Amino acid sequence: MEKLISYPLSILYYALFLFWLVLFHPIQWICYNLFGYNAHRISVFVLNWFLVRNTHILGTTYSFKGREKLPKNVPLIIVANHQSLYDIPAIIWFMRAWHPKFISKKELGKGIPSVSYNLRKGGSALIDRKDPKQALGEIKKCGEFINKNNYSVTIFPEGTRSKTGVPKPFSVNGLKMLYKFAPDAYFVPITINNSWKMTKFGQFPLGLGNKINFQIHEPLKISDFSFEEIFEKTEKTIVDAIKI
């Protein structure tokens, strides 16, 4: 029954999703080219507010807990498990005070209205997974960028989304580069639950009535840990809070 009801709702959802992306593409361009970084980031936050609210059509609700734990005016490395593309607009909107950037595959840097433009111009790292030298170089630049400006960067160390919610092993290399080149930062473990249920039937139709939970755990100051210690602690903290 859920799947049957979801067909018309998913059509409406995708139509509005595309509308917001197309509408905000020129808005982003104008903000960035005429008014600079701050105007551009505000346009991105507003876009993602609409994208988050758009999922309410599907009965989706959000719980984002733990922001009061986050330090201000310091760089943050947000480390999260990855369950669906619906993780991203929520992080951009609910974490907007920390200027979130992303470690993203380079394929997303072109061809997608609004999304590609923001990834190229907003300070994110676009990496080629087939070219480790290029990937690590881009992550290095992103780490230096957030360290200098006290911004945040989000990395999904599983690499690819979990379609069932079961976490995949975390990759070391990207986190190690951020650890090294953003030495003033804090690792911020975030556990995401139920996002995968949005696409439990695939990309169409979408799942209905899901409550997506984001739990921010205690931030870990890089200078207090060796990389091996902070990596192990971060992965264990995230994984232990995943509910299947």
As a whole number of angstroms, the distance between CA 54 and CA 221 comes to 36
**pLDDT band for position 162 (cuts 50, 70, 90):** confident
List b or e across 183-204, with b for residues whose CB sees 16 or more CB atoms inside 10 angstroms: eebbbbbbbbbbbbbbbbeeee
| Structural domain count of the chain | 1
Amino acid of residue 119: L
Amino acid of residue 101: K
Mean pLDDT over residues 188-210, rounded? Answer: 96
Question: By residue range, what is the domain housing residue 69?
Answer: 2-240
- Give pLDDT tens digits for 109-161: 999 999 999 999 999 999 998 898 999 999 999 999 999 999 999 999 997 88
Give pTM, 2 decimals: 0.94
- Give one DSSP letter per residue of 37-72, joined into a string: HHHHHHHHHHHHHHHHHHGGGGT-EEEEE-GGGSPS
Angle at 223 between CA 221 and CA 229, to 5 degrees: 80
Q: Which of 235, 219, 220 is nearest to 66 (CA)?
A: 219
As a whole number of angstroms, the distance between CA 217 and CA 78 comes to 10
**pLDDT the model gives residue 165:** 87
User: Which CATH number does the domain housing residue 174 bear?
Assistant: 3.40.1130.10
CA–CA distance from 114 to each of 36, 128, 157 (Å)?
A: 16, 20, 24
- Give pLDDT tens digits for 13-53: 999 999 999 999 999 999 999 999 999 999 999 999 999 99
Do residues 162 and 81 touch, judged by C-beta distance below 8 A?
A: yes
- Give pLDDT tens digits for 38-95: 999 999 999 999 999 999 999 999 999 999 999 999 999 999 999 999 999 999 999 9
Average pLDDT of the chain, as a whole number = 95
